[in-house]
């Protein structure tokens, strides 16, 4: 009797032989080797085919020996200065490591533009100039770069093991640097701790919510306190050191605001505020006002309120005082939004209905388009700050019957305000993660700079927004779907961990 031929691994169906990009978009691939012509015509980077794991990245170093098939790459090459061509770890594949670092700088480093701040803008300079005893920074950059590339491109386990090896070496060298008191607080050490914390996020091994349990978060706090006290005494801080101080402070503040929305999270310890002079308050730059004044003040106030509510039942005077402080900060945040110049504002565009969307559930109803990642970060931080503040106001309202003279605030008004802020966050997510381009077009092919940062911002924002009780089940399902996309397609594995956590909480309610 003639045996039936087995066609493929999925119940007899043929497994697609197209490139990974065409498979994801569910379009026919011409299967041209080494890269399909459909991707070339669309001017996007072809990720290669399933059996070509070694070709899932494009090496864009201009001064290196490129394989012949790279000559067909029609995208603009991403070039780096000669200072980036320093030799990597001897046990790692040189081309792959350099390509990973190049990709990480493209996705997670944003240089400051006119009127906006950058992100990790001094990291390439620190990476190229790192010397003993601060080699922990170089190893941390290599670890997070390899982890990001391997997770985003679904590469084999051996590449993840190489990233873990670099991560372990970075931890050992960081321990050596911290053991020497004279070398414990340079910018390279604090930058290393921040990168290791982001490594845990990419690998899905850390939780940005229960930040008090993260050793890297505690390390940021301790080093930041020491650096803040020393900068106050010496009053001499270079631009690179000021950059890492403010970046670490922003991370600590946003972690504190995130914890305020998690009922079982322990209130964080005191926030180390950077020295603020009278000239800081007179600063006309709205970004500096938000980062240096409003966010630290809000984080410190919310920590005080959360600690007071967790330890014991507050008195009437304490309830009135806490509510007045939060309402005062809320008014300052609203004034800050009104004072923003036009260059820091976003554009709203109605969502075009397509086959990829549910016509019966038009959510989000419009898209928010930002001029750049730096501007997007400003608005995400502002919206999350308002969500955290409004959430704590609802907690205080639960004790309103014990207080006399409570400011005139209405619970329905607070919920309506929370829904408005949550809607703005959801409307900004498609642009942050690359679902739409700067013109509002769907499925853009461009691999924009800072897209990894946008995915990190979207992960935190979606996690906080999905836990709001004012959001409908359909809206939460949409947010969970976007978190799955970030975790699977963009390589931010923590998005999958947080997605499971949100689903568990929704089922338990």
- pLDDT digits over 212-262, tens only? 455 655 555 565 555 555 554 444 445 556 666 666 666 666 665 655 444
Sign of CA dihedral 364, 492, 207, 99: negative
Residues in a beta bridge with 119: 110
Q: What is the pLDDT of residues 308-359, one digit of tens each?
A: 666 667 777 777 888 888 888 888 898 899 888 888 899 998 876 544 444 4
What are the helix (H) ranges across 26-93? 37-41
Tokens of 427: 């409307």
Does any domain span residue 390? yes
Does any domain span residue 22? no
Q: Which domain holds residue 448?
A: 204-508
Residue burial 282-293, b: 16+ Cβ < 10 Å; e: rest: eeeebbebbbbb
3-state secondary structure of 472: coil
How many Å separate Cα 150 from the centre of its chain? Answer: 18
Between CA 144 and CA 491 the distance in angstroms is 11
Say which residue, 178 or 9, is predicted with more confidence: 178
Residues sharing a CB contact under 8 Å with residue 353, sequence separation 6 or more, in sequence order: 359, 362
Where is mean pLDDT largest: 11-20, 204-213, 432-441? 432-441
Q: How confident is the model at residue 444 (pLDDT cuts 50, 70, 90)?
A: low
Say which residue, 42 or 56, is predicted with more confidence: 42
Residues in a beta bridge with 348: 368
Q: Which pLDDT value is given to residue 326?
A: 87
Q: Which pLDDT value is given to residue 101?
A: 92
Q: Which pLDDT value is given to residue 229?
A: 54
Q: Which pLDDT value is given to residue 190?
A: 80
Residues sharing a CB contact under 8 Å with residue 289, sequence separation 6 or more, in sequence order: 283, 336
Tokens of 156: 């084999």
Asked whether residue 144 carries a pLDDT value surpassing 90, the answer given is yes
Tokens of 505: 């909480």
Say which residue, 496 or 88, is predicted with more confidence: 496
State the DSSP string of 307-345. Answer: HHHHHSPPPHHHHHHHHHHHHHHHHHHHHHHHT--GGG-
Tokens of 177: 């640097």
Say which residue, 93 or 154, is predicted with more confidence: 154
Does any domain span residue 193? no
3-state secondary structure of 348: strand
Does any domain span residue 339? yes
Q: Closest Cα partner for 414 from 298, 323, 478?
A: 323
Residues sharing a CB contact under 8 Å with residue 197, sequence separation 6 or more, in sequence order: 206, 214, 216, 217, 220, 251
Judge whether 326 and 392 are in contact, CB under 8 Å: yes
Between CA 215 and CA 506 the distance in angstroms is 29
The CA-CA-CA angle for residues 52, 47, 64, to 5°, reads 85
Does any domain span residue 135? no
Between CA 147 and CA 262 the distance in angstroms is 28
Q: How confident is the model at residue 211 (pLDDT cuts 50, 70, 90)?
A: very low
Residue 369: in which H helix or E strand, if any? strand 366-369
Q: How confident is the model at residue 448 (pLDDT cuts 50, 70, 90)?
A: confident
Say which residue, 1 or 131, is predicted with more confidence: 131
Q: What is the pLDDT of residues 61-96, one digit of tens each?
A: 333 343 343 333 333 333 333 333 344 444 446 778
Say which residue, 92 or 501, is predicted with more confidence: 501
CA atoms within 13 A on the CB side of 473: 3
Q: Which pLDDT value is given to residue 358?
A: 47
Residue 147: in which H helix or E strand, if any? helix 135-152
Does any domain span residue 38? no
Between CA 7 and CA 98 the distance in angstroms is 39
Average pLDDT over the chain, rounded to whole?
73
Q: Which pLDDT value is given to residue 449?
A: 80
- In the chain, the number of structural domains is 1
3-state DSSP: the chain helix, strand, coil percent, rounded to 5? 60, 5, 35
Does any domain span residue 150? no
């Amino acid at each position: 009797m003639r045996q039936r031929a087995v066609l493929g691994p999925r119940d007899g169906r043929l497994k697609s032989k197209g490139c990974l990009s065409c498979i994801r978009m569910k379009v026919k691939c011409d299967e041209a080797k080494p890269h399909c012509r459909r991707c070339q015509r669309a001017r996007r980077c072809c990720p290669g085919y399933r059996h070509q794991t070694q070709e899932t990245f494009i090496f864009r170093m201009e001064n290196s020996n490129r394989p012949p098939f790279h000559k067909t790459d029609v995208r603009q090459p991403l070039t780096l200065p000669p200072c980036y061509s320093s030799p990597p770890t001897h046990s790692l594949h040189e081309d792959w490591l350099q390509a990973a670092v190049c990709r990480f700088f493209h996705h997670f480093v944003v240089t400051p533009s006119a009127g906006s701040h950058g992100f990790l803008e001094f990291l390439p300079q620190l990476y190229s100039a790192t010397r003993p005893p601060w080699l922990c920074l170089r190893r941390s950059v290599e670890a997070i770069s390899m982890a990001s590339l391997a997770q985003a491109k679904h590469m084999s386990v051996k590449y993840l093991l190489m990233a873990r090896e670099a991560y372990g070496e970075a931890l050992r060298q960081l321990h050596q640097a911290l053991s020497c008191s004279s070398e414990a607080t340079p910018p390279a050490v604090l930058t290393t701790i921040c990168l290791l914390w982001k490594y845990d996020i990419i690998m899905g091994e850390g939780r940005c919510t229960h930040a008090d349990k993260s050793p890297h978060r505690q390390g940021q706090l301790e080093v930041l306190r020491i650096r803040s006290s020393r900068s106050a005494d010496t009053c001499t801080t270079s631009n690179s050191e000021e950059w890492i101080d403010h970046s670490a402070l922003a991370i600590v503040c946003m972690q504190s605001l995130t914890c305020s929305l998690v009922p079982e999270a322990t209130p964080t310890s005191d926030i180390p505020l950077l020295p603020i002079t009278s000239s800081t308050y007179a600063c006309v730059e709205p970004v500096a006002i938000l980062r240096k004044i409003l966010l630290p003040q809000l984080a410190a106030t919310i920590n005080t309120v959360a600690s007071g509510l967790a330890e014991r039942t507050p008195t009437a005077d304490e309830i009135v005082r806490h509510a007045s402080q939060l309402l005062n900060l809320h008014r300052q945040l609203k004034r800050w939004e009104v004072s923003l110049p036009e260059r820091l504002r976003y554009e709203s565009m109605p969502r075009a209905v397509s086959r990829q969307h549910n016509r019966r559930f038009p959510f989000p109803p419009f898209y928010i388009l930002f001029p750049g990642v730096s501007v997007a970060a400003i608005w995400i931080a502002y919206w999350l700050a308002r969500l955290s503040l409004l959430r704590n106001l609802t907690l205080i309202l639960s004790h309103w019957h014990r207080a006399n003279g409570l400011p005139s605030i209405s619970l329905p008004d607070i919920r309506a305000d929370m829904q408005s802020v949550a809607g703005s966050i959801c409307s900004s997510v498609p642009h942050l993660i690359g679902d739409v381009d700067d013109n509002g077009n769907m499925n853009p092919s461009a691999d924009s700079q800072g897209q990894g940062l946008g995915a990190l911002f979207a992960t935190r924002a979606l996690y906080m927004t999905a836990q709001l009780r004012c959001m409908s089940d359909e809206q939460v399902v949409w947010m969970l779907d976007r978190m799955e996309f970030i975790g699977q397609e963009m390589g931010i594995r923590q998005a999958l961990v947080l997605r499971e956590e949100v689903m568990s909480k929704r089922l338990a309610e």
